[in-house]
Amino acid sequence: RKEVEQDPGPFNVPEGATVAFNCTYSNSASQSFFWYRQDCRKEPKLLMSVYSSGNEDGRFTAQLNRASQYISLLIRDSKLSDSATYLCVVNARKLIWGLGTSLAVNP
C-alpha cells in the first residue's frame, strides 16, 4: 500500500461545479497535512494546511479524518483557473507527497 494515495483523475467538471478530492495515508502517526496546487510545468504552491477541526479558505474546504486516515479537499463554484494538479502531502516525520489529482474545469 502506498504511503499516500490519491485518485489521479482527471476530474473534468464544468465551471461552477463542486468537486471533492480524497487522499488516504497509511501512517497513523502522521502529524500535519497539506494540500498543494501545481500548474503544468510549474512548482507546487501551498493551497492550504489541513487542521483537525477542518478549515475553509474562500471556496476551498479541507477536512481531516484521523480515524479513517484520510483528508479531503472540496472546491465550490469551480473556476477555469482552478484547473491544476492537487497534491496531498502528509508529514510523518518526513514529508510524503501524493502523486496528485488532476482537475480540468471546462467552460
Partner 1 sequence: DGGITQSPKYLFRKEGQNVTLSCEQNLNHDAMYWYRQDPGQGLRLIYYSQIVNDFQKGDIAEGYSVSREKKESFPLTVTSAQKNPTAFYLCASSREGTGRLSGANVLTFGAGSRLTVL
CB neighbour list of residue 80: distance below 8 Å, 6 or more residues apart: 15, 105, 106, 107
- The smaller minimum CB distance to partner 1, of residues 44 and 71, is found at 44
Q: Determine, following the binding rule CB under 8 A, whether residue 56 of this chain makes contact with partner 1.
A: no
Q: Determine, following the binding rule CB under 8 A, whether residue 46 of this chain makes contact with partner 1.
A: yes
Write out the three cell numbers for 97: 507527497
Distance of CA 69 to the CA centre of its chain: 14
Selected from 64, 98, 102, 103, the binder of partner 1 by CB under 8 A is: 98
Q: How buried is residue 76: exposed, middle or buried, by Cβ count under 10 Å (0-12/13-18/19+)?
A: middle
Which range in 11-19, 28-36, 66-74, 76-84 contacts partner 1 by CB under 8 A?
Answer: 28-36
Which range in 13-21, 22-30, 44-52, 66-74 contacts partner 1 by CB under 8 A?
Answer: 44-52
Q: Determine, following the binding rule CB under 8 A, whether residue 44 of this chain makes contact with partner 1.
A: yes
Write out the three cell numbers for 103: 482537475
Which range in 11-19, 63-71, 72-80, 87-95 contacts partner 1 by CB under 8 A?
Answer: 87-95
Distance of CA 105 to the CA centre of its chain: 16
C-beta of 103: minimal distance to partner 1 in Å? 17
